[in-house]
Structure 1
């Protein structure tokens, strides 16, 4: 449910209320409208609240004053738009972003315009039929639609709700829950920057050892039960901000649970439970989001992921509320389960049937090579067997035996702020399992000799999708820092050439990408991956990718001068030297080191050091890497057949021929993949 101005152009403004409905809700549009106009009545018949207006002004003022820098294109576009609105030059920046003068009469006048006489209703649903609901076709994209007057039944019922007296409204019980907003408990009051240590702030996050004393004491009993010190079951990394000077903070916590990692069933149950927690916190989280605080709770293959961000002042309040709900959610109500089941079933179904072909290809590649990877179809099948009763007790299973790692960064002082923030999570995050009890991640070393290929062939899951997809991945070497840098440099040279040849010249499709990849496990592999989505038969696309790669890699190894390669080295260095523009950007870089459990926060600096080595020495090693690792690299390729190629008998015959002689293994179904793994 969202509401606000949807268009404010040339003196006209549209106030829009958008409601995303479940399948059951699609047949209750009349009831949805009644609820909306009952609230409009409440709004129109209540005095304008100056206190609520001041709260809104306060939030808008904070958001304007402390907003992070956007990308230059968006900033320029926004400024140009504001200048077209003939704003005073001193308000070009602040005019669209802030609330200015309080005028109760004007607010009431605008509120009074919310009537059925000024109403336009737009309904979009897959259940509409062309003949009955959408007989017309718009001329630009051929979209089917229908238009007409608002049904008389709707008009009468909605206006009755808007104009009805209190006695009439009292007859409907659910309308009694409607109320104007209460004061928002999450609006920040402390916006001061915290004093920094006299010795300065370390350049990178550091592990907090020992943990704050209050946190140590609160966790002592759990850790004693695990026969280990607190530091073995909870690791906290921390960096106080000294660059962006904003009263904000970011906190991520990964909660690793052996129970979640035991089976796909447990993983899906964990995901459903996390969605149920979020569903029951929706109303509460709305106030937090309005006040500039955000959180998310999701499940991974090995546990839970908690994310918090926003103004530091009230962040612990939000964290404590989320933690308390996580602990209290021992059972999921029938109402909540119905909502969660509907949304998750739709999402899993869409993932399993309507993914882009290139995404399907990448999914099957991961399923072959990554230890914890599963397909969307497997997730859907598992979720369809899940019942509400199976979510009972999931909270204790997840949180009762777990290990946690966290990163806190922003306007928080280490003492006492760090302890206060982390203690807010203690109701839920009480880890009692050491890190060495976690199941390991892993990626498969591809079989075969130089140039060998594991080939996966699949039909696309969406019969209406004309395109197919192909990925060709070269597993070049182990994932060391230097090897990853060389893969990135190879992509710096070849990325645009790949697009120019396969997209522009050969016209294979709109999606043509060459990218470096690294498993991100510390003990995995790295290399290059080519991605093409095309209406041509995937076997033909595969052959063209292979032909281009063969010539391009040979040219990369011996066809470019030191001066030419040096230009690409400088271009990659410029990318690596670029400073983060926002706290969230810097936090994201650091969190990737925690999430991948490498904790190598100085990695970017070391990458720069590799690229800044004596140029001749660097290029000799790079060419040796291309010749010795990239050119003979074993490959895994996935071909996803689209509807256009499947309909062509001539192209279908091409599929019988392997793209190249090195295809040592050919897989076609899930059982083949499981046997291969």
Structure 2
């Protein structure tokens, strides 16, 4: 689902970096135990999750499980803090999980929400209208996924399983399966749903309720409401057999993807490890098979230029069957050496058998997991209760809060049992490539994926092993990054907000000790401000390539750090690049020093340059296959941002980039650099200063370094264009992939530049309007599965945006329905009662007063203020104070002035992406004459040149300057 609050500029890049870090953590967790439900500490608030088994099973592959997750309602600003709450559901092969979300609500409202939630399972309404609406929603979601390779390949793997096993079935639903075919068979789908409801028996269900109330209060509430859920003594569904019989093994499946790129996955059915959660055999094996350090499978094929990524581990959401997989993204050269790569995988498995199981490796992993569990960060209550409710069906009660987080029994015989199952006799291989076009002879029925199947015998694999690369495979060495010193530093002075601890012509250091969480962790951000990094498409592409190569070079060394809970990311920003290091502070300086040395001693390695360039070109090309609403958002950013280079120009620059020119460019771009540093966590001020001094010495004083200081006049600022009052601009374009049935629209309403009073008014409107917008546009009018109203910030310029992606209506029609919603909602705003106004204000205040859940959230907030130049470290307190004084009349005046249709200061852009389904409507739309007070954008860059710019938030009164 799209994010609840959209941002662009450096904040979005920070979010991307956070995602990058989370992906690394995800990969690390997958290699440990794909099926685990690790418990985490939760934050204050209230939420619940109810879990019930489903009747048919359809498990996952080792790629991320496509799971139907339905966000039924959400608020753009404070999704869990409204008076109504929000709710979501998740359906997988063996369970349905329902989650009503509610935070900091009045006790009476909590009881009402709990009552409604309980009634879902006591007496569901299942009205005819609701059933039809949900069938349309399911079909809309299915159509959104038709060109998604993740869904397509997952269903292909299921298709190539035993037809009499539930795993074989199509698991997500469509109009055909829920409306057309049932009617052909004379079935009433509503009656079938009511029959299906009989499976919701209390003996098969688990419930978790988390709240700030006392346990006695929560217990009384649960007993009074949920005791009425019937216990019909249903039996849990058991599969009669395994999904893969002998005929479904020893296969090589060649499939044609939608996007550019080659992918290889080697998998085996294995004994589900939930039976051995304390022994953790798959965790042990995935740690070794998926390792990325020297001597590993990945390190060898990466150095050969054959692969860009590798993931290994067990995956299943069934207790009865499971799969262990090794997946990787290949280069063109890797595609030509698929057999050699598969041979290398089996060669490593043979090494594991020959070398035996090592207790020291198991103990090291157990120690890392114990530390991670003990010092785990707090997470959102929804994640917490969902983890627990999932654990309740897998583990005994005494393990519910721990799950599979703490392996404690060293059992080499069990590890060997799983290792023996990873054999040539039990293998399935899936290879995805457009190079197979013209050589396939089958099509999967639900997604129409073209494929061919070949047999792979153990003898063939033995021949591949003999031809595998001769580079030496060996087990990883003991991890030097495992933290030893987990002591907490003493804080001498209470520091509420970040302070400038050190300032030189080369850098500035902001510092804040940990005053809230008291964990042995630190977060360090080093922002390299390089004004020459993005002055042209060529510069932007070269800087991006430089950053990607840095991460590529560091991977083998820093992989152990990530395993041990010390993460790093190097990512592009609008004014250069940033390095962040977060995790346990014990070995942090070791990793940070290695990163800085790599930056200073950067050289272009021809083999890695070629591999990365090849995959980067494909990534740019694959934007054509992105969801239409993502394309609309891209065009909107292109319109709004002063200097944002179009993807086609960047792709052209990338195609011409050579290793020599990159070497020269890196020296050029680093010749003007300023460092903005932020250090927060379990670290003393003297050590923070020492770290930045060491970075300065490494970066600027190493003889071979290309870094030179930047003068204040060269400080680069990116700005946003100012739209015109009372003018509605339109940008209409055909989708980049006309085979995608979805059209999309983003209607953007630019409101104001960062200002506390305007902020709270806009936030309040978003809070009040997002649910009605969703209800009207998605639930009532059924315009599209992806539908939401949210806030958006582009470099401190705040706006509303409404996003709809639809197969049933064209963007011009969607635009008119959005306008009609605002017209209708105008009366709701004007008729807002004092009681409802105060209730919504309180909800917004409560959401703002929610405490940071962990060090990373707190750091992200303060660093965001520093990077934007606003320095409003007391933003929450000041905005809450204004909210307490806000009058309803002021709020209505704000709506009438900026938001309502025909408001005197309403400034709008409507970005419309037309699919092939709506080609006739596109031709009609571009042929129409412009209406009064409208502006058609035909040349984005000419339009931008004609508009003034919003001022930069940096350098304003009381804000950050370079002096």
Alignment TM-score, normalising by the size of structure 2: 0.62
- String of CA shifts for 1:196-245, please: whole Å, max 9, x gaps: 21x33x2222221xx2xxxxxxxxxxxxxxxxxx4344222111112222
How does 1:424-573 map onto structure 2 within 5 Å? 424=695, 426-428=697-699, 432-447=709-724, 450-521=725-796, 525-535=797-807, 536-553=809-826, 555-556=828-829, 558-573=830-845
> Following the alignment from structure 2 to structure 1, what is the Cα–Cα distance between the partners of residues 630 and 357?
51
Q: Do the aligned partners of residues 658 and 231 (structure 1) sit closer, same or farther apart at CA in structure 2, a change above 3 Å counting? A: farther
Offset at 1:178?
1.4
2:402 aligned partner:
94
1:389 pairs, out of 657, 660, 674, with: 660
Offset at 1:585?
1.6
- Number of residue equivalences: 627
SS in 2 for 1:18: strand
**1:3 and 2:274 equivalent?**
no
Decide whether the 8 Å contact of 2:719 with 2:795 is kept in 1: no
1:270 pairs, out of 534, 540, 543, with: 543
Offset at 1:325?
0.7
SS in 2 for 1:191: coil
2:470 aligned partner:
175
1:374 aligned partner:
645
> Following the alignment from structure 2 to structure 1, what is the Cα–Cα distance between the partners of residues 708 and 523?
21
1:668 pairs, out of 938, 941, 952, with: 938
Q: Do the aligned partners of residues 656 and 566 (structure 1) sit closer, same or farther apart at CA in structure 2, a change above 3 Å counting? A: farther
2:271 aligned partner:
none
**1:346 and 2:618 equivalent?**
yes
2:917 aligned partner:
644
1:249 aligned partner:
522
Decide whether the 8 Å contact of 2:732 with 2:926 is kept in 1: no
Offset at 1:95?
4.6
2:440 aligned partner:
133
Q: Do the aligned partners of residues 660 and 490 (structure 1) sit closer, same or farther apart at CA in structure 2, a change above 3 Å counting? A: farther
2:531 pairs, out of 254, 258, 276, with: 258
**1:80 and 2:389 equivalent?**
yes
2:894 aligned partner:
625
2:686 pairs, out of 409, 412, 415, with: 415
- String of CA shifts for 1:364-407, please: whole Å, max 9, x gaps: 22222221223322322222222221111344333332112122
> Following the alignment from structure 1 to structure 2, what is the Cα–Cα distance between the partners of residues 339 and 244?
42
SS in 1 for 2:330: coil
> Following the alignment from structure 1 to structure 2, what is the Cα–Cα distance between the partners of residues 359 and 579?
32
Q: Do the aligned partners of residues 142 and 599 (structure 1) sit closer, same or farther apart at CA in structure 2, a change above 3 Å counting? A: same
Offset at 1:345?
1.0
1:196 pairs, out of 486, 491, 495, with: 491
Moved more, 243-252 or 408-417: 408-417
SS in 2 for 1:578: coil
> Following the alignment from structure 1 to structure 2, what is the Cα–Cα distance between the partners of residues 609 and 133?
66
> Following the alignment from structure 1 to structure 2, what is the Cα–Cα distance between the partners of residues 626 and 39?
65
How does 1:181-220 map onto structure 2 within 5 Å? 181-197=476-492, 199-200=493-494, 202-208=495-501, 211=502
> Following the alignment from structure 1 to structure 2, what is the Cα–Cα distance between the partners of residues 580 and 660?
48
> Following the alignment from structure 2 to structure 1, what is the Cα–Cα distance between the partners of residues 450 and 773?
38
Unaligned regions of 5+ residues in structure 1, if any?
162-168, 212-229
SS in 2 for 1:261: coil
Decide whether the 8 Å contact of 2:720 with 2:795 is kept in 1: no
Offset at 1:59?
1.0
> Following the alignment from structure 1 to structure 2, what is the Cα–Cα distance between the partners of residues 422 and 119?
54
**1:578 and 2:873 equivalent?**
no
**1:114 and 2:422 equivalent?**
yes
SS in 2 for 1:305: strand
1:150 aligned partner:
456
> Following the alignment from structure 2 to structure 1, what is the Cα–Cα distance between the partners of residues 643 and 922?
35
Decide whether the 8 Å contact of 1:249 with 1:408 is kept in 2: yes
SS in 2 for 1:272: helix
Offset at 1:552?
2.5
Decide whether the 8 Å contact of 2:629 with 2:804 is kept in 1: yes
Q: Do the aligned partners of residues 367 and 42 (structure 1) sit closer, same or farther apart at CA in structure 2, a change above 3 Å counting? A: same
> Following the alignment from structure 1 to structure 2, what is the Cα–Cα distance between the partners of residues 14 and 41?
19
Q: Do the aligned partners of residues 395 and 359 (structure 1) sit closer, same or farther apart at CA in structure 2, a change above 3 Å counting? A: same
Q: Do the aligned partners of residues 81 and 627 (structure 1) sit closer, same or farther apart at CA in structure 2, a change above 3 Å counting? A: closer
Alignment TM-score, normalising by the size of structure 1: 0.86
> Following the alignment from structure 1 to structure 2, what is the Cα–Cα distance between the partners of residues 10 and 365?
46
Decide whether the 8 Å contact of 2:565 with 2:584 is kept in 1: yes
1:216 aligned partner:
none
Offset at 1:653?
2.7
Moved more, 106-115 or 26-35: 106-115
Q: Do the aligned partners of residues 64 and 625 (structure 1) sit closer, same or farther apart at CA in structure 2, a change above 3 Å counting? A: same
> Following the alignment from structure 2 to structure 1, what is the Cα–Cα distance between the partners of residues 676 and 441?
53
2:627 aligned partner:
356
1:600 aligned partner:
872
2:552 aligned partner:
279
Offset at 1:620?
2.6
> Following the alignment from structure 1 to structure 2, what is the Cα–Cα distance between the partners of residues 552 and 10?
49
How does 1:40-59 map onto structure 2 within 5 Å? 40-59=349-368
Offset at 1:190?
0.8
Offset at 1:485?
1.6
Moved more, 507-516 or 290-299: 507-516
Decide whether the 8 Å contact of 2:424 with 2:458 is kept in 1: no
> Following the alignment from structure 1 to structure 2, what is the Cα–Cα distance between the partners of residues 91 and 549?
51
Q: Do the aligned partners of residues 188 and 577 (structure 1) sit closer, same or farther apart at CA in structure 2, a change above 3 Å counting? A: same
Decide whether the 8 Å contact of 1:363 with 1:375 is kept in 2: no
> Following the alignment from structure 2 to structure 1, what is the Cα–Cα distance between the partners of residues 351 and 606?
30
Decide whether the 8 Å contact of 1:8 with 1:14 is kept in 2: no
Please give the root-mean-square deviation of Cα atoms over the aligned residues, in Å: 2.6
SS in 2 for 1:177: coil
SS in 1 for 2:632: helix
Q: Do the aligned partners of residues 666 and 428 (structure 1) sit closer, same or farther apart at CA in structure 2, a change above 3 Å counting? A: same
**1:609 and 2:881 equivalent?**
yes
SS in 2 for 1:645: helix
SS in 2 for 1:428: helix
- String of CA shifts for 1:488-515, please: whole Å, max 9, x gaps: 1111121112112222222222222222
Decide whether the 8 Å contact of 1:30 with 1:154 is kept in 2: no
